[in-house]
Chain A
Amino acid sequence: MRFLFKTHYNQDIDHLKHGGDRFWYGLLLVLVAAAPAALGTFYLGELNLVMIYAIAGVGLMLLVGYTGQVSLGHAAFLAIGAYTHSLLLGAGLPFLLSIVAAVLVSALVGAGVGWIALRMTGIYLAIATLAFAMLTEQTISRAEWLTGGFRGLAVPQASLFGMPLTQGWQHYYVTLTLLVLTLLAALNILRSSTGRAMVAIRDSEISAESVGINLAVYKTFAFALSAGITGLAGALFAHRLGYLSPDAFTFLISLQLLLMVVVGGVGSMRGVIYGALFIGFLPQLLAIARDTLPPRIAQAPGLEPGIFGLILVLVILFEPQGIFGRWLKIKSYFQLFPLYRRATHRRQKTYLRTERLR
């Protein structure tokens, strides 16, 4: 085991606690930055998609994992970000400005949804966000004068600092930079008083309120923040798609985002990355698995959602803390080697009471 000798108060809130952390994260950054030189176009594109998912996942994790508000409608924010970005880009705004505008518009809508959702908790909130996502999808498909409806909307070519973004590696670096910035911003928010207030709300609304946290302000802020970050992912996703239509932002996408957060591990930023890798490369794994399955099963149109559902069920039944939770368990097994106890990681059970008797 490692014992840290602390000589300064700021060491308590350092992102990288010790030399080992610094080394491994530095190595990871170098590897990721060098990836375009080593990977082919296809895998670079897939990695780009994984990072876009990761940005959206950071947004959703802030809401679900750290503030405890479940959203089944994050595809709507993804859509709002994507459409705002492409429309503004089409209107001649520079790339960076239009991304900022997409983030702001999504955050504004998110604040509105969060404000409406203040009176709801738990399951009602989930249903309300689901209804909001359905409404957004319908609105996008009907507002043909703006979004082109089901005919679709071509995403204009972007250019950054006078250089057109055409190559895969250019998009890759843009996404990588934004992902690193988003992660840093999220982690910094989480170690500030705002982030602690969010975590307090997640753990108990009543105790958070009684130590003077304004629930309405922080919940609305968390929604706006989460929606803004998801909108950023949406703007990048638009370039990945190249052509926007409402059926790119269905309930299945909301579910995929949530699946990512759950599979990665609710309540950890590393979990987001694991979840994004998992979701991003799952279609490839499925494509490989299809070759080995009998054709009647492999060619069934509903197979992919079914597999998603199966994974969701298995994760919730057997490893509710996700990949990150499993990693923590393995790590503490080796750290405490002969003394590891299964009960260390057991969670307290909470028995359900009707939500109206809060």
Chain B
Amino acid sequence: MVNFAQGDLMMLGAFVAVTLIGGVGLPWVLGLFLSVLALAVFGYLLDAFVLRRVLGEPQFAIVMLTIGLGFIFRAVAGLVWGYDPQSFPTPYTGKSLRVGEIVVSYENFAILLGTLVLCVVLFLFFRHTRLGIAMQATSQNQLAAYYVGIPVKRVFSLVWAISAGVAAVAGILLAPVSLVQPGMGFIGIKAFAAAVIGGFGSIPGALLGGWIIGIAEQFAGVYLPAGFQEMSAYGILIVALILRPQGLFAQIQRKKV
């Protein structure tokens, strides 16, 4: 299952956080927790009521469906929260961490830390829990997973819940750095590039892919003429797909017919 609306789920998570923390005035930690929970429930319901209907249709249908959903989310967010960039206070806003000569703002440090924690948790989850392994099995072969007794539909809904929750965390961490607005989900395309470069189904791969794209963008911004910065992510994506279409960390080797 491929989700082209992931960036927009992230945007929704950030907006929920804006409402809860900035609007209602909840403490940051509680707001974070509640927004992630809200998005997870939303993801579960989205799958249960909308996406489950295309189970068994060609994959093309799922791609188009999630693209369409992304457009709807953006329009709805624009209607509800408006198009002005917004943000919310965090306990670490404006402070910075000093390690020797290096100064890192806590906002960026939080992103780094949050990413690491998420990756470790997700990695352990997919490697060591029954549910995580069931999810992997479902993604590899739906029919076979069903035969061995995995409740495929419920597992799919749970996958959506997790992925929406993770997207919300990403949105909340990103909110202080790049403000919250309906178009912020476009970064999702780059996240996609990261996942493809690393190889779908591999969390270390996604991390490495994201790292490659981020570094390449920064270097292109400094050393190459203007314009290459925006292009570099897509260029790398195409090169990676040509050279190694299965990703750097391929989940499974290709089966010969």
User: Which of A's residues lie within 8 Å of B, judged by CB?
Assistant: 64, 70, 72, 116, 119-120, 122-124, 126-128, 130-132, 134-135, 138-139, 141-142, 206, 255, 258, 262, 296-297, 300-303, 305-313, 316-317, 320, 347, 349-354, 356-358
Cα of A155 to Cα of B41 in the assembled complex, Å: 51
Q: Using a CB-CB cutoff of 8 Å, which residues 183-212 of chain B contact chain A?
A: 189, 192-193, 196, 201
CB distance from B220 to the nearest CB of A (A): 12
A interface footprint on B56-74 (CB within 8 Å = 1, 0 otherwise): 1111110111011111101
Q: Please tell me if B238 contacts chain A, counting CB pairs below 8 Å.
A: yes
**B83 neighbours in A (Cβ, 8 Å):** 301-302
**Which residues of chain B have C-beta atoms less than 8 A from A358's C-beta?**
254-255, 257
Instruction: Given A124-B245, A301-B78, A357-B252, answer yes or no on A255-B67 (Cβ-Cβ < 8 Å).
Output: yes
Stretch at the interface among B21-29, B97-105, B135-143, B169-177: B135-143
Offer 24 A-B interface pairs, CB within 8 angstroms, sorted by A: A127-B237, A128-B237, A131-B241, A138-B227, A142-B226, A206-B257, A255-B67, A258-B64, A297-B79, A306-B72, A307-B75, A308-B71, A309-B74, A317-B50, A317-B53, A320-B57, A347-B57, A351-B146, A352-B59, A352-B142, A354-B141, A354-B252, A356-B250, A357-B252
Is B234 close to A, CB under 8 A? yes
Is B89 part of the binding interface, using a Cβ–Cβ cutoff of 8 Å? no
Distance between B17 CB and nearest chain A CB, rounded to angstroms: 21
Nearest-neighbor residue (CB-CB) of B238 within chain A: A131
| B72, B74, B79, B146 pick with most chain A CB within 10 angstroms | B72
Min distance, Cβ A215 to any Cβ of chain B, angstroms? 13
**A133 nearest in chain B by CB position:** B234
Flag whether B31 is at the interface (Cβ < 8 A). no
Residues of A within 8 A of B57 (CB): 316, 320, 347, 349-350
The listed residue (B72, B196, B230, B253) touching A124 by CB distance below 8 A is: B196
Question: What is the bound-complex CA distance between A239 and B22, given in angstroms?
Answer: 49
**B76 in the interface, Cβ–Cβ < 8 Å?**
yes
Q: Which residues B215-251 have CB closer than 8 A to chain A? A: 226-227, 230-231, 234-235, 237-238, 241-242, 245-246, 250-251
The distance in angstroms between the C-alpha atoms of A312 and B67, with both chains bound, is: 9
**A127 CB to nearest chain B CB (Å):** 6
**Contact across chains for A262 and B143 when beta carbons are under 8 A apart:** no
A138 to chain B, nearest CB (A): 5
Assembled-state Cα–Cα distance A302/B226 (Å): 29
Q: Which of A135, A255, A353 contacts B140 (CB 8 A)?
A: A353
| B residues neighboring A (CB under 8 Å) | 1-2, 50, 53-61, 63-65, 67-72, 74-76, 78-79, 83, 139-143, 146, 182, 189, 192-193, 196, 201, 226-227, 230-231, 234-235, 237-238, 241-242, 245-246, 250-255, 257
User: Judging by beta carbons under 8 Å apart, are B74 and A306 in contact?
Assistant: yes
Are the C-beta atoms of B140 and A354 separated by less than 8 Å? yes
* Inter-chain contacts of B146 with A (CB < 8 A): 351
Contact between A302 and B140, CB atoms less than 8 A apart: no
| Complex contacts, B53 vs chain A, CB 8 Å | 317
Say yes or no: A350-B67 contact (C-beta < 8 A), given A124-B241, A138-B230, A142-B227.
no
Contact between B75 and A306, CB atoms less than 8 A apart = yes
Chain A residues with CB below 8 A from B69, complex form: 309, 313
- CB of A303 within 8 A of CB of B237, answer no
Listed residue (A116, A316, A358) with the most chain B CB atoms within 10 angstroms of its CB: A316
Taking A126-B63, A131-B235, A309-B69 as known contacts, 5 extra A-B pairs with beta carbons closer than 8 A to each other, sorted by chain A number, are A127-B192, A262-B64, A302-B79, A313-B72, A354-B251
Given the known inter-chain contacts A301-B78, A308-B71, please indicate yes or no for A313 contacting B65, CB distance below 8 A: yes
A356 and B246 contacting across the interface, CB-CB below 8 Å: yes
Query: Within the assembled complex, what's the spacing in Å between the Cα atoms of A164 and B66?
Result: 46
B residues near A305, Cβ cutoff 8 Å: 71, 74-75
With contact pairs A316-B64, A351-B56 given, residues A116 and B238 touching in the complex (Cβ less than 8 Å): yes
What is the distance, in angstroms, from A62's C-beta to the closest C-beta of chain B? 15
Instruction: Please determine whether B241 and A120 come into contact, CB atoms closer than 8 angstroms.
Output: yes
Cβ of A108 to closest chain B Cβ, rounded Å: 17
Whether A131 contacts B58 by the Cβ 8 Å rule is no
Q: Nearest chain B CB to A332's CB is how many angstroms away?
A: 22
- Residue numbers in A under 8 Å from B70 (CB-CB): 309
Is A351 in contact with B143, judged by CB distance below 8 angstroms? yes
B75 A131 Cβ-Cβ under 8 A: no
**Chain B hits for A131, CB < 8 A:** 193, 234-235, 237-238, 241
Bound complex: CA A350 to CA B56 (Å): 5
CA–CA, A55 to B182, complex, Å? 33
Instruction: Look across to chain A and name the residue whose beta carbon is closest to the beta carbon of B253.
Output: A356
**Residues in chain A near residue B245, CB distance under 8 A:** 119-120, 124
State whether A130 and B189 are in contact (beta carbons under 8 Å apart), knowing that A262-B64, A352-B1, A358-B254 are contacts in the complex: yes
Is A310's CB under 8 angstroms from B246's CB?
no
Structural contact, A123 and B75, CB atoms closer than 8 A: no
A356 touches B234 (CB 8 A): no
Q: Most chain-A CB neighbours within 10 Å: which of B54, B65, B241? A: B241
Enumerate chain A residues within 8 angstroms of B234, measured Cβ to Cβ: 131-132, 134-135, 138
A354 touches B65 (CB 8 A): no
